[in-house]
Structure 1
Amino acid sequence: MAHFNPPQIQDNPLGWGPCAIPDQFKDMPYQPFAKGDRLGKVSDWTGATYQDKRYLGKYSSAFGGGGSQYAYYHDEDENSFQLVDTAKVQKPVYQRGRRVFQQNKQRRERERRQQQAQANMQVLSKTQKSRERDRQRLLRKWQKQFGRQMQENRSKAPIKNRDASVQVRESWDVVEEMDFPRLTKLSLPGMEDASDLMKCGKMEYYDKTYDRVTTKNEKSLKRINRIFHKVTTTDDPIIRQLAKSKGNVFATDAIISTLMCCTRSVYSWDIIVQRVGDKLFFDKRDDSEFDLLTVSETATEPPQDEGNSINSPRNLALEATFINHNFSQQTLKMISHVETRK
């Protein structure tokens, strides 16, 4: 029969647990640990492995800092201690000459201050002293006056609450509301490479002499009598022709560009979406803000004037649109067709 040898049990009448340490573990230090502690490094002798404060206690033990039993303590005299390698450390290339550069910079700065102090110590005549005092007094007056005005203008600038382009009526039913974070999370299906379905109109050559226009070599803006089409989607004859055979969503370039920049928009605008069968048409209203270029719309302090003021948003937009239309045509080489007969 098999014989069972029971283990030796140590009786501890004054406490709990064993009262003696086995010989093989007698001189071995013990680090307490918990089962939930993370094991992410072999050793850390400095305690500065992680510079980010968020990870300082990432691998800390549940029992505190610990590790004191592995700390090094020296009690002997170190007078006889000598370094083995006494060679001078070679600095990298980008650090060589840095000290000389700093010394030269400090020397030039010190000389500049001395020259300025000497200039201030020169003896001035009574007329020069009077002019200098008047200039300093006038300068302080301007700084005080205009600084206060600028601060008052900043504090008095009201926050303009602009009206919506469409007044929402109480009888309307809300079908669904979508905010910008929700729109950014939408995933589009795989799109094929874009292709031109139809090319219309003609292109004129750019006049390269406008590349040399500067403040000294200026050119006056000319008025070009040309028609700029601003039709909406459903009124475009080309889109009407394409809608019969290809595509199911149609919009003009002005509408698409406004939709792409809608996150930075400050002025109010709206789009009319019409569904004809299984096709969607994005339209704009007649003579709407889509046809105008905005001025300082995304600035810290956008134009606030209203009415007939020259700096009102609409008047500034009209001016910018007029300039852009004429300048875009002025920079083209216009070819005049001359008919000859024999």
Structure 2
Amino acid sequence: MASFQLPQLQQDGDHWGPPTSSSSVLPSDFQQIPFAPFSKSDKIGRIADWNASSGSDARAGYGDDRSAQALGARAGLRQGRGRDAQQSFGASGANAFAYFHGDDEASFSVVDNTRTVTSRRGGLSGMARGGRGAGRGGAAASSRGSARAGALGATRGGRGGRGGASARGGRRFGWKDWDKPQRTREASVTVGPEWQQLEEIDFSRLGKLRLEVDEPQEISTYGTLYEYDKSYDRISTRAEKPLQPIDRIRYNPTTSEDPVIQEIAAKNDAQIFMTDSILALLMCATRSVYPWDIILTRTADGKVFLDKRDGGAFDFITVNENAADPPMETPELKEGERVDAASRANQINTPAALSLEATYVNQNFAFQAVNEKKAHKLEKENPFYSPEETEPLASCGYRYRRFNLSSDEEDPVELVVRTEVDAVISSPSGPQFITIKSLNEFDSRAQGAGGAPEWRTKLDSQRGAVVATEMKNNSFKLARFAIQSILAGADNMKLGYISRVNPRDASKHVILGTSWYKPKELAAQMALNLSNGWGIVRTIADLARKAPEGKYVLIKDPNKATIRFYSVPASFDEEVDEDDGEEENDEEE
């Protein structure tokens, strides 16, 4: 009866494969066969090269060099999978099997007798229109126009024609984006060693929160409002108006320094207190990119106050924060280094400089677009203005409103917010409250412009395209504008489009146009979910309410879509103010 007996395998704990000793299980006829790794994509001309030198060099992959050979093969496999890899697995080790033309093949050639089209029009236009390498004119163009046609093809159609890498719309989105250096932003406040992290929430979890909130109850109103000047509705790019710096006083104290909120907290049973700027930021937190921080203070009686830091993110307006390529910081100049015109232009287009410019523009546009001869006084006078002040007040009204954030009757949660309106407009039904905001253009050709069209040529004819680009590049800023207007109960929002007189000068601006928006309609256009915003606010409020008495800080991570909740010492805000004062004194010295 036929039988088969398995050969005996010798163990070799140091290497893979058969052992290299003289008593190898391999037959002697196969011990000198050359070996090299290869992949399916390699071209193999010969299965084996019997003329190769015998010995240890011919046995690559065996013996003591097997581990190094295996590592090299794995490295080659990883390299072949890369995007720009030029060699595949085994290409470097298969030189013994490389294909070479024989002597008889070297003398062989093919004669092409087909007639080529020599028309200049067909060759050039076909190549330029962007066919696959040779355009619509066929497989090849005339030799006379091939170089020029290739240049035209690369300009208009690129290597893939109209839909190629260099198509008419510019470079392909995402091309070489993976090769850009990662931007590392610094946190808005330094986390101290004694801080204790209590919670960490990423934006994906915040985006799933929902809470329906009814219309608010108005507690009281303060301040004086001027009527909006309707002559600004007629401004266009052909009838522009310069932006004038106007000195007016407008107060924006934090929550704990507001005497009205302190009075309401003493008499009312509400638990949460904040301003509209803090509330709008929390409701739009998932759209933010730049870092920010909020100070939370829980008192012994269970009340929570949310405050801002002086000079923090709430006092300034960002520019192109949500753009695919936002403005970038420039390297600091060395001592004695000269500044050329290009470097000076880049210095005014950094995120900090643009934020300061946008804040200046937004305030002065609100001051300028009102008629101070027509005033409308609210219930009470401005609570922050003292008789000792000599400068005139700006048009501003404060409306203190109460929102019910309760999800059930057993756990009532009420929120008191100080909201602001900027002006009034007269109507048959009575005065209507409005907010006045602005968008600013710095330089459509500069880095960080976000692909925005030039306003002087597109604002009148293609305003929809301008607004759509601003909604994409400034999603967080416009969402805050819309929510602040909704919280204040404003009937309309006036939006101004302001640009620099000279792109290289950030001190002079001009108003190019204005638009009216209903706050709720603008929020709907931006896909802004108010119930999600209220869910975020209620979640943050519950974190502070459940924590013991003390001070806490909510921080947006500067480089991740995450917020963190920290417990900090009671002297945190005072220490930050002292550090800022010391830095200012050092600069003055």
TM-score (norm 2): 0.31
Gapped regions of structure 2 (runs ≥ 5): 1-120, 126-144, 157-165, 333-346, 376-589
Do the aligned residues in 1 keep the contact of 2:206 with 2:286 (CA within 8 Å)?
Answer: no
Superposition deviation, residue 324 in structure 1 = 0.8
SS at match of 1:281: strand
Superposition deviation, residue 304 in structure 1 = 1.1
How far apart in 2 are the matches of 1:299 and 1:178?
Answer: 24
Structure scoring higher RCO (CA < 8 A, sep ≥ 6) equals: 2
How far apart in 2 are the matches of 1:167 and 1:226?
Answer: 34
Aligned to 1:222: 244
More strand by share: 2
SS at match of 1:209: helix
Aligned to 1:283: 307
Aligned to 1:332: 370
Superposition deviation, residue 333 in structure 1 = 0.7
Q: Name the stretch that deviates more: 251-260 or 162-171.
A: 162-171
Gapped regions of structure 1 (runs ≥ 5): 1-115, 121-132, 338-342
**Which residue type is aligned with residue 315 of structure 1?**
A
Residues 307 and 201 of structure 1: is their aligned pair in 2 closer, same or farther, counting only changes over 3 Å?
farther
Aligned to 1:204: 226
Superposition deviation, residue 176 in structure 1 = 2.8
Residues 330 and 187 of structure 1: is their aligned pair in 2 closer, same or farther, counting only changes over 3 Å?
closer
Deviations 1:266-323 (A, max 9, x none): 1101100001221100001111121111000001011112467211111100101101
How far apart in 2 are the matches of 1:192 and 1:154?
Answer: 45
- The partner residue of 2:197 within 174, 187, 201 is 174
How far apart in 1 are the matches of 2:331 and 2:313?
Answer: 16
Aligned to 1:303: 327
Do the aligned residues in 1 keep the contact of 2:226 with 2:374 (CA within 8 Å)?
Answer: no
Q: Name the stretch that deviates more: 192-201 or 156-165.
A: 156-165
Do the aligned residues in 1 keep the contact of 2:227 with 2:374 (CA within 8 Å)?
Answer: no
Do the aligned residues in 2 keep the contact of 1:273 with 1:281 (CA within 8 Å)?
Answer: yes
Aligned to 2:356: 318
1:252 counterpart = 2:275: yes
**Which residue type is aligned with residue 196 of structure 1?**
E
Superposition deviation, residue 227 in structure 1 = 1.6
Superposition deviation, residue 236 in structure 1 = 1.3
SS at match of 2:267: coil
Work out the number of aligned pairs and report it.
205
How far apart in 2 are the matches of 1:312 and 1:245?
Answer: 46
**Which residue type is aligned with residue 313 of structure 2?**
E
Aligned to 2:58: none
Aligned to 2:428: none
Residues 221 and 141 of structure 1: is their aligned pair in 2 closer, same or farther, counting only changes over 3 Å?
farther
Aligned-residue identity in percent: 39
SS at match of 1:320: helix
Do the aligned residues in 2 keep the contact of 1:221 with 1:327 (CA within 8 Å)?
Answer: yes
Do the aligned residues in 2 keep the contact of 1:306 with 1:313 (CA within 8 Å)?
Answer: no
Residues 285 and 242 of structure 1: is their aligned pair in 2 closer, same or farther, counting only changes over 3 Å?
same
1:195 counterpart = 2:217: yes
Do the aligned residues in 2 keep the contact of 1:254 with 1:291 (CA within 8 Å)?
Answer: no
**Which residue type is aligned with residue 206 of structure 1?**
Y
SS at match of 2:304: strand
Residues 298 and 329 of structure 1: is their aligned pair in 2 closer, same or farther, counting only changes over 3 Å?
same
- The partner residue of 2:291 within 248, 261, 268 is 268
**Which residue type is aligned with residue 333 of structure 1?**
N
Aligned to 1:158: 181
Superposition deviation, residue 326 in structure 1 = 0.5
Superposition deviation, residue 155 in structure 1 = 6.9
SS at match of 2:227: coil
How far apart in 2 are the matches of 1:229 and 1:156?
Answer: 46
TM-score (norm 1): 0.51
SS at match of 2:218: coil
SS at match of 2:354: helix
How far apart in 2 are the matches of 1:289 and 1:187?
Answer: 26
Q: After superposition, where does 1:1-342 map in structure 2 within 5 Å? A: 143=155, 157-186=180-209, 188=211, 191-246=213-268, 247-276=270-299, 277-306=301-330, 309-335=347-373
Superposition deviation, residue 335 in structure 1 = 1.4
How far apart in 1 are the matches of 2:320 and 2:362?
Answer: 15
SS at match of 2:352: helix
Superposition deviation, residue 177 in structure 1 = 2.7
Residues 205 and 315 of structure 1: is their aligned pair in 2 closer, same or farther, counting only changes over 3 Å?
same
Superposition deviation, residue 332 in structure 1 = 0.5
Residues 307 and 255 of structure 1: is their aligned pair in 2 closer, same or farther, counting only changes over 3 Å?
farther
Residues 216 and 185 of structure 1: is their aligned pair in 2 closer, same or farther, counting only changes over 3 Å?
closer
